[in-house]
Structure 1
Amino acid sequence: MGKNIKWFYLIVLSLIWGSSFILIKKALVGLTPLQLGAVRTIFTTIILLIIGFKRVKAIKRSEWKWVALAGFFGTFFPSFLFAFAETEIDSSVASILNSLVPLNTIILGALIFKVASTNRQVIGVLVGLVGTVMLIFNGAALNPNQNYLYASLVIIATVMYAANVNIIKRYLQTMNALTITVGNFVAIVIPAIVVLVSTGFFKEETLSNPEIKPALLYMLVLALFGTALAKVMFNKLVQISSPVFASSVTYVMPIIAVFWGLIDGEQFGFMQGVATVIILIGVYLSHKRKGPK
């Protein structure tokens, strides 16, 4: 039963998060990257407080630093990084680069959290890095009008996601998944409000923009499903499986995201497909541990 549940979580999360990249792209028509990241965080906080406000009381004072760190690494900074990245690179490419999360989970686990790695995992990381370099260079050649330096923002976000996974597994293992998620957003909502106000979002010329309403609707959908529901499910998945298994949600996500990207007219070349396969092979090699945990 436990194995079936974790696979159910993995598939549903892949479908939800695979669709989130196109929602970000669409919302950027009416919002700046800073506004998008802030609105996404604020909407999600409101939804989560309606669902689980009482959960905040269950968090001990000694646990708040880890809950807050998980919130900033797992949601706050990546929300802005992905928004800025998608102003220059295709949503499908952003989703494929997001597949580096399991590899970075292993790297950070070994370097910072002292989690032993096998030779197979090290090979997987190296293969994944080769695929990443191929994807970026081929994408830059296929889309010369796009600035592929922005791909580095997605890579930074994947390192932060990896840190979040390791923090939850090591320091918040026994905490209820919804409690972690509500705590995450309580910790980051004030900075998000400050960012939103600083962008001039509430000025009349911004709110009168006809593109603002559909953009906010995209963000509401993303906040409800792609962040609130998905974060609770992901935190639960980390607890009932392993950090690497949980982060391998990125296996299916690129397929969903590329599908949406192609529908939206994005270009995706043959060599980008090859690079994607190489990245996923790297993730696969690093996924199964052989030897002691």
Structure 2
Amino acid sequence: MKNLPTKWVYLVILSIVWGSSFILIKKALIGLTPLQLGALRTLFAAAFLLLIGFNSIKKIKKSEWKWIAISAFLGTFIPAFLFAFAETEIDSAVASILNSTTPIMTLIFGAVLFSITFTRNQLFGVFIGLIGSFLLILAGAEVNPNQNYWYATLVLLASVCYALNVNIIKRHLQEIPAMAIAAGNFLVLIIPAFVVLLFSGFFKQEVLYSETVHISLGYLAILAVFGTGVAKVLFNKLVQISTPVFATSVTYTIPIIALLWGFLDGETFTIWQGGAALIIILGVFLTNRKKKTTTF
């Protein structure tokens, strides 16, 4: 990877890290509830990032804290719970594929809220990608009738949150160091996450002393440090050195890693789901085929 441009190195690393996150969520949910997982994931990541990056927070100006807070909730807090609830009903591999709609969402909200103009190919790609998402949900519901595929909409909602966040970082937080953004995000989230954890039932004696919970906490710790903490810093930097749509292109390659983990864990994936996944990727490819006519 020595000769690759820096942005591609970041993209490869993030693909591996985030591609492994979905199976870690699945394993952590064996002993934890979605509320517990989302809250603890945030708190563990906050502890890690503030330990290594607290001094960088002073680089955030007072006027920028509003955007840091909005970025924190859209880019981390809300999606953490949405994915946790979604994976109680749908396979981790399917969740990762639906997450690949993030670049499409980024383009849509970039145009609507941040004055980025559509090209014809990009508009066509948006419709193709959304059709693929719909077909993937239908195929999954048919293959796994015991799973509630309405929960797939939670992944799509998380993609909307990511899309808004990446545009906010590019527009309003471009000059702030990536570590400072990440540390500031989690400083904001400590109290909300602790409040959720307090009311999640985690501190009951039977939970705290459960061996299953302890094993789940191990998976969660890996998820929080690497899948949230380290990845958050890398992604913030990737947004700053590239474009929002390129940065979210990491979601094209994430499913490759997630599908491998899902297969090893015994998840079912049919040819029809594979076809729907290819339609999504085709749509995403079309949205990136030509440069946008306006820039940030």
| Fold conserved between structures, TM > 0.5 | yes
Q: 1:210 deviation in Å?
A: 1.4
Q: Tell me the distance in 2 between the aligned counterparts of 1:188 and 1:125.
A: 32
**CA 1:121–1:148 in structure 2 vs 1: closer, same or farther (change >3 Å)?**
same
Q: Which amino acid aligns with 2:156?
A: I
Q: Which amino acid aligns with 1:102?
A: P
CA deviations 1:94-119 (Å, max 9, x no partner) are 00000000000000001111111211
Aligned to 1:59: 60
Q: Tell me the distance in 2 between the aligned counterparts of 1:200 and 1:34.
A: 9
Q: Which amino acid aligns with 2:5?
A: N
Aligned-pair identity in percent equals 58
Q: Which amino acid aligns with 1:20?
A: S
Which range moved further: 114-123 or 147-156?
A: 114-123
Q: Which amino acid aligns with 2:290?
A: R
Q: Tell me the distance in 1 between the aligned counterparts of 2:293 and 2:270.
A: 41
Q: 1:291 deviation in Å?
A: 5.6
Structure 1 segment 132-211 matched on structure 2, within 5 A: 132-211=133-212
Q: Which amino acid aligns with 2:89?
A: E
Q: Tell me the distance in 1 between the aligned counterparts of 2:203 and 2:291.
A: 54
Aligned to 2:104: 103
CA deviations 1:161-185 (Å, max 9, x no partner) are 0000000000001110000000111
CA deviations 1:67-103 (Å, max 9, x no partner) are 1101100000000000000000000000000000000
Tell me whether 1:11 sits opposite 2:12 in the alignment: yes
Tell me whether 1:249 sits opposite 2:250 in the alignment: yes
CA deviations 1:24-67 (Å, max 9, x no partner) are 00000010000000000000000001101111222111000101
Which range moved further: 283-292 or 272-281?
A: 283-292
Q: Which amino acid aligns with 1:171?
A: H
Q: Tell me the distance in 2 between the aligned counterparts of 1:34 and 1:268.
A: 28
Which range moved further: 232-241 or 56-65?
A: 56-65
Which range moved further: 109-118 or 154-163?
A: 109-118
Equivalent position SS for 2:114: coil
Equivalent position SS for 2:215: helix
Q: Which amino acid aligns with 1:199?
A: S
Q: Which amino acid aligns with 2:241?
A: I
Q: Tell me the distance in 2 between the aligned counterparts of 1:26 and 1:74.
A: 22
Structure 1 segment 211-222 matched on structure 2, within 5 A: 211-222=212-223
Aligned to 2:45: 44
What TM-score do you get using the length of structure 2 for normalisation? 0.97
Runs of 4+ in 1 over 6 A off after TM superposition: none
Q: Tell me the distance in 2 between the aligned counterparts of 1:2 and 1:292.
A: 29
Aligned to 1:91: 92
Equivalent position SS for 1:112: helix
Q: Which amino acid aligns with 1:47?
A: F
CA deviations 1:114-163 (Å, max 9, x no partner) are 11121111111011011001100000000000000000000000000000
Q: Tell me the distance in 2 between the aligned counterparts of 1:3 and 1:246.
A: 16
Unaligned runs of 5+ in 2: none
Which range moved further: 50-59 or 94-103?
A: 50-59
Q: Tell me the distance in 1 between the aligned counterparts of 2:292 and 2:22.
A: 36
Q: Which amino acid aligns with 2:98?
A: L
Unaligned runs of 5+ in 1: none
Q: Which amino acid aligns with 1:101?
A: T
Q: Tell me the distance in 2 between the aligned counterparts of 1:92 and 1:244.
A: 22
Q: Tell me the distance in 2 between the aligned counterparts of 1:290 and 1:214.
A: 46
What TM-score do you get using the length of structure 1 for normalisation? 0.98
Aligned to 2:261: 260
Q: 1:3 deviation in Å?
A: 6.4
- Corresponding residue pairs, total: 293
Q: Tell me the distance in 1 between the aligned counterparts of 2:23 and 2:127.
A: 29
Q: Tell me the distance in 1 between the aligned counterparts of 2:210 and 2:293.
A: 57
Aligned to 1:123: 124
Q: Which amino acid aligns with 1:226?
A: G
CA deviations 1:250-277 (Å, max 9, x no partner) are 1110011011111111100000000001
Equivalent position SS for 1:199: coil
RMSD between superposed Cα atoms in Å: 1.2
